[in-house]
Chains A and B, each alone.
Chain A
């Protein structure tokens, strides 16, 4: 297990969260929580009213692009992203890995050149993809994943991960599991809002979390947090997102069902 803590602080009552954790090895949410519990020893428990526990409408169109091996236009509420997958391709010599596939992720912003923020997202998506794709089945090859931001509805990162998952499904690359990402934020009144819309995000928040879970045991694959909230809230938010991820997995199932509907109907 590898974890990167950018910054970690423990105060008496508040558990300060400002870090990004990427798991290269999947492990149970429970153990993740234990792990965090070890880090903070004395935390008073908060009981929170969590209000908005909804996920916005999901829509997708698979194989939207005629040239890509797999592609999807995905919307989650007002957030729209497009993802494409080309692969397995011949890898460039510098990028070639002898034992597995090289995963290249390009995240394209709507305006301007990709900068540091985009590279950060690319890295998160890349590690997630490395986890879900059975990369060792195609050594010395590459897969090229491109994500195009089309409409910002507040939850670009989680929508991107979900779109990539759908595009990978569409491309037919062998996957170990599926992944569903859910974003939630803690607003200024300490309420947890699931899948916030752009207006809510712009109003300001205490913390924003994005979690990604796998489809087998709903274990945590990725956790990206920014902001500062009590630990209890973090735990609650994660559990909430975990529950919400079930809807996305159901949605995936329906999407695939639609794609191959003729066999079922």
Chain B
């Protein structure tokens, strides 16, 4: 019965497809999946905004939104209805376009932002047999469309003829380009081990248990390092704090969508969050076993539930980090990417190779862990000394 629950969406889809003529079936099935995604993830987005506001409020020792409940009733879900008026507001606000702006590009930018983000969802396996388009080179596809986001950012920043926007766009692009490299490299390790770019295969490779513990790659030395690298890089990719220089309110008003308002702004906002979800989903798929359950006795819980739960959990971690960590300086950002994460990712690839070829004896744990640890120590020291980081010294006025 749990199997049925697990496969419910799949069965429903086949049911619907039964009534559709043969020629249209691929189109319809695609449409169905897309609609599902379009329905679910913006919903999650809406909830997450509230979560974020409330969570940050808690962490910053204040109430978040706690009034609005279901409209036209007195039910106030301690403010969880807040997203509805927010949404209405932002969708109905006037859409202002600067006179000097390059109209076409300015108009296209949010759309160009949203499309690749939505495309990226096509390859993510949300659950058992739940993948829209299971490409042979799914991972590559994901990264490819992910790259397109930068173009939209540039369009937005350049078209609105505003130096803040341009600066923000440039910052964002530089940051994304820099952090795409560790992102991809840390994903490459998984590809090496699994031997396939197919995300479904990757999940399947992690979907077995010993001593009741799942074989997630995060539980291996290289996997752990890769996971951490991927996590940091995804923070940067989605312009989240502490990497939120592109929209650093205190420096450049709102980065590349300073000049956006109303619907387009909402689209940007949505796009950012969806991109974040997508990349988190990829991270889950690569390192955290996708839709599989961590322990064998919980396998009865439906797979998509696991996926969403993991995603929400990671999102919470994002929120937490945003509320806690200060913002990096630009040079620190670049140093982190190029001097620490990139070499570490490269070494991690080598380690993964060693892991693969050392067979299944226990020494490989020691060897890989030792190599990575040593590399981390050396690189970190080098960076610290190069940056003259270390204990901060204060000077007091006499």
Co-assembled chains A and B: no
* Chain A residues engaging chain B, CB cutoff 8 angstroms: none
